[in-house]
Amino acid sequence: MVRVDGSGGSNSLIQVRGLDKTYRRGGGEIRVLQGLNLDVDKGDFVAFMGPSGSGKTTLLNLLGGLDVPTRGTITVAGDEITHMSGHKLTEWRARHVGFVFQMYNLIPVLTAFQNVELPLLLTKLSKAQRRKHVETVLHVVGLADRMNHYPRQLSGGQEQRVAIGRAIVADPTFLLCDEPTGDLDRQSADEIMGLIEQLVKEYGKTVLMVTHDPVVARRAGRTLHLEKGLLAESAEPQGVAAGGRHEI
Amino acid sequence: MKFSGLIFANLFRKKIRLLLTIGSFAVALFLFAFLAVVNDVFSRGADIASADRLFVINRTSIINPIPLADRDKMLRIPGVKMVTHDNWFGGIYQDEKNFFPQFVIDPENQRQVFPELMVSDEEWKNFLKDRQGAIVGARTAERFGWKIGDRIPLKTTIWGSGNWEFNIEGLYHGKRPQDDETQFWFQWDYFQEHVPDAQKGQVGWYIVRVDSPDDAVRVAKSIDAEFANSPYETKTETESAFAASWVKQFGNIRFLIVTIGTVVFFTLLLVTGNTMAISVRERTPELAVLKALGFSDRTVLFFVLAESLVIALVGGLLGLLLAVLAMPVLTRALSGLLPQLVLAPSVFAFGFATALAVGLASGFWPGLGAMRLQIVNGLRRV
Ligand SMILES: Nc1ncnc2c1ncn2[C@@H]1O[C@H](COP(=O)(O)OP(=O)(O)OP(=O)(O)O)[C@@H](O)[C@H]1O
Ligand SMILES: [Mg+2]
């Protein structure tokens, strides 16, 4: 169950309470998040929408432990991450979070295989074990035959598949995707969403995704709207066929 | 090391830049080695000086003579074991640019006072028998293609005028590679027969061998005291002090070389530091991604340092090895003007260590920047 009113039980996977994020810039203050609450259960697939600058990326960064909130708490699987030291937070990220970014963000000098292998370098797995994991994952994302290609030799959609492979290879607790289809054409976007759906349905992954695209958002189990620093259960965004939600 | 793949992939990111940076190290280290060798040549006298030898010169200057008669007084001073003497001949072989040092020696004591300059007994015997005999350092003989039996004319402008004729009776070799093998020796008696009367009975300087090196300073003082207030006052120094003051005549070469060397390394630091800074800055988003994936700040710093260290290691070794290979070529190019050039292991080690230090320093600031990079800021730069 996804909730935004702070009423979730303590057994939800992700529990956000009273989250504030204020940026200080040149004397002025921008309050981006203002007492935001969120509960996400294991296996949920949530889409965040909202106008540009509303704080979607900020929210994902906080959930992923890339940044620290001004106030409030984030608890993931019982661990409160908002008060972890930088070092512990780094370890926590490696174990629990998979990131997928809009611009794929692959390391250009590494092959698809090496890019996917990166998170495993931080584990105790042997070289042979790492190879097995990477090959399995590349198979799942449909790039088994592109293992030794460099990012520049891949299409945008393929690059994003590699990035998704990298995000899931260490079997994280949840995935954070910031506009994963933002740079792709419609068909590639559909394929990527198919892949993410498959991760949720077949592999029981928990996914939190930011998108501008209502078509993409509709593939998620729930769409939440971020505005004025708070999340709201989304009435269907304006202009999108009202029937969309009922398909899920 | 499981991170080596990532480190090497980053190194080869821009191949031209990698080559140029390695090249900077190689050139700097080559230059360093060359300077160090030149410095070594000039200060070698002091380094290889024997601790039990004293040089006695005229207090006024080394070009003023001392009478031969003073030798017996020196021999009577306690602690003095042996005395020999030299004169500077300064003759010209065919052309002035064919310079090599020529000494009038005292055959009786030469080999005992300078045991490191070795002549076979056979050749030495022939040398003693021949009044016009000469012993030549192996390098000078090689330089002019002289063989035993050759007749060598030297033109003098100091001791009268005209050509003096010599027969090469033997070659001497240094015990150590640094020993000077360029000298030309001939006999005191032959010299005495031919110098103008006014210059007879006068030696250029004495070399004294003492019983014990610990006693050298005391013996030196006694010698100078012995001749104080005489017409020929002396200045006695240990061989190393003598060699050092000899080098000073060429100006402060050491200072010059140290200054140039420092500038070379400092420039290298600026160049490679700048290169590393650019190379790290242009991959800021990637560094942010690595950190997001769970690579720690320290690991990221380590990546940058490892990269600059590998560059320094490869470039430094390359430059030094080239220098080692170039030494014989340089020695030949200077055609015997300087003694054999040798790149000492200590110089090699110092150069290598300095290269690594420069590598570490040049990677340090960019590495620190990478370490301190905030992930969210790094990602926003995409
Ligand atoms: N490091 C920062 N310093 C100052 N202000 C920031 C910083 N990061 C974000 N902001 C501001 O916070 C607000 C929210 O930014 P954020 O990137 O979260 O928006 P977003 O919803 O992801 O927008 P978009 O849809 O354009 O990606 C913006 O006004 C932005 O300018
Ligand atoms: Mg954003």
Query: Does residue B1 register a pLDDT over 80?
Result: no
- B77 phi/psi in degrees, rounded to 5: -70, 130
Establish whether residue A103 lines the binding site of ligand 1, counting it when its CB lies within 6 angstroms of any ligand atom.
no
Query: Does residue A236 register a pLDDT over 70?
Result: no
pLDDT at A178: 94
Establish whether residue A32 lines the binding site of ligand 1, counting it when its CB lies within 6 angstroms of any ligand atom.
yes
Lowest-pLDDT range, A224-238, B218-232, B287-301? A224-238
Mean pLDDT of all residues in A85-104: 93
Establish whether residue A51 lines the binding site of ligand 1, counting it when its CB lies within 6 angstroms of any ligand atom.
no
Mean pLDDT of all residues in A235-239: 46
pLDDT at B341: 77
How many angstroms is it from A190 CA to the middle of ligand 2? Answer: 20
What's the whole-model pTM score? 0.76
CA dist B252 and B262 (Å) reads: 16
Whether A215 has its CB under 8 Å from any CB of chain B: the answer is no
List the single residue in A with minimal CA-CA distance to B296.
Answer: A90
CA dist B358 and B266 (Å) reads: 8
As given in the structure block, the two tokens for residue A157 are 């959609």
Q: How confident is the model at residue A246 (pLDDT cuts 50, 70, 90)?
A: very low
DSSP state of A185: -
Q: pLDDT by residue (tens digit) across B332-363?
A: 776 656 666 778 898 899 999 999 999 999 99
How many angstroms is it from A28 CA to the middle of ligand 1? Answer: 14
Best of A70, A122, A130, A176 to substitute, by most chain B Cβ atoms within 10 angstroms, is A122
Mean pLDDT of all residues in A184-195: 93
Lowest-pLDDT range, A116-120, A177-181, B151-155, B178-182? B178-182
Establish whether residue A53 lines the binding site of ligand 1, counting it when its CB lies within 6 angstroms of any ligand atom.
yes
Cβ contact B202:B195 at 8 Å: no
> Do B6 and A127 lie within an 8 Å CB cutoff?
no
Contacts of B323-330 spanning 24+ positions with Cβ under 8 A: B323/B29, B323/B30, B323/B33, B323/B34, B323/B37, B324/B33, B324/B348, B326/B30, B326/B34, B327/B37, B330/B34, B330/B37
Query: Does residue A71 register a pLDDT over 60?
Result: yes
> Do B5 and A109 lie within an 8 Å CB cutoff?
no
A-chain residues near B7 (CB < 8 A): none
Lowest-pLDDT range, A56-65, A186-195, B16-25, B38-47? B38-47
Mean pLDDT of all residues in A228-232: 89
> Do B294 and A101 lie within an 8 Å CB cutoff?
no
Q: How confident is the model at residue B112 (pLDDT cuts 50, 70, 90)?
A: very high
- Across chain B, what does the average pLDDT equal? 91
Give the start-to-end residue ranges of the domains of chain B: 4-45+251-379, 60-232
Mean pLDDT of all residues in B100-128: 94
pLDDT at A242: 36
Query: Does residue B221 register a pLDDT over 80?
Result: yes
Lowest-pLDDT range, A9-13, A222-226, B111-115? A9-13
Contacts of B191-199 spanning 24+ positions with Cβ under 8 A: B191/B87, B191/B89, B191/B104, B191/B159, B193/B131, B194/B159, B194/B160, B194/B164, B195/B159, B195/B160, B196/B159, B196/B160, B199/B65, B199/B159
The set of residues, in sequence order, having a beta carbon less than 8 Å from that of A194 and lying 6+ positions away, is none
Establish whether residue A52 lines the binding site of ligand 1, counting it when its CB lies within 6 angstroms of any ligand atom.
yes
pLDDT at A241: 35
Q: Cβ of B194: how many Cβ atoms within 10 Å?
A: 13
Mean pLDDT of all residues in A126-149: 95
DSSP state of A236: P
Query: Does residue A86 register a pLDDT over 80?
Result: yes
For A24-44, b where at least 16 C-beta lie within 10 A, e where not — what string? eeeeeeeebbbebbbbbbeeb
Whether A103 has its CB under 8 Å from any CB of chain B: the answer is yes
- Provide, rounded to the nearest whole percent, the portion of chain B with pLDDT above 90: 73
pLDDT at A234: 66
pLDDT at B185: 97
Nearest-CA residue for atom 1 of ligand 1: B377
pLDDT at B93: 94
CATH fold of the domain at A42-66+94-233: Rossmann fold (3.40.50)
As given in the structure block, the two tokens for residue A109 are 């000098």
CA dist A102 and B132 (Å) reads: 93
Query: Does residue A237 register a pLDDT over 60?
Result: no
Query: Does residue A245 register a pLDDT over 50?
Result: no
pLDDT at A240: 37
Mean pLDDT of all residues in B225-254: 84
Of all ligands present, the nearest one to the C-alpha of A49 is 1
ipTM, two decimals, is 0.91
As a whole number of Å, the CA-based R_g of chain B is 29
Query: Does residue A235 register a pLDDT over 80?
Result: no
pLDDT at A159: 96
> Do A119 and B294 lie within an 8 Å CB cutoff?
yes
Whether A171 has its CB under 8 Å from any CB of chain B: the answer is no
Q: How confident is the model at residue A243 (pLDDT cuts 50, 70, 90)?
A: very low
Nearest-CA residue for atom 10 of ligand 1: A23
A-chain residues near B291 (CB < 8 A): 90
A-B Cβ pairs (cutoff 8 Å, strict): 68
Question: SS in 3 state form for chain B?
Answer: CCCHHHHHHHHCCCHHHHHHHHHHHHHHHHHHHHHHHHHHHHHHHHHHCCCCEEEEEECCCCCCCEECCHHHHHHCCCCEEEEEEEEECCCECCCCCCCCCEEEECCCCHHHHCCCEECCHHHHHHHHHCCCEEEEEHHHHHHHCCCCCCEEEEEECCCCCEEEEEEEEEEEEECCCCCCCCCEEEEHHHHHHHCCHHHCCEECEEEEEECCHHHHHHHHHHHHHHCCCCCCCEEEEEHHHHHHHHHHCCCCHHHHHHHHHHHHHHHHHHHHHHHHHHHHHCCHHHHHHHHHHCCCHHHHHHHHHHHHHHHHHHHHHHHHHHHHHHHHHHHHHCCCCCCCCCCCHHHHHHHHHHHHHHHHHHHHHHHHHHHHCCHHHHHHCC
Establish whether residue A54 lines the binding site of ligand 1, counting it when its CB lies within 6 angstroms of any ligand atom.
yes
- Provide, rounded to the nearest whole percent, the portion of chain B with pLDDT above 70: 96
Three-state DSSP at A18 gives: strand
pLDDT at B337: 60
Lowest-pLDDT range, A18-22, A136-140, B41-45? B41-45
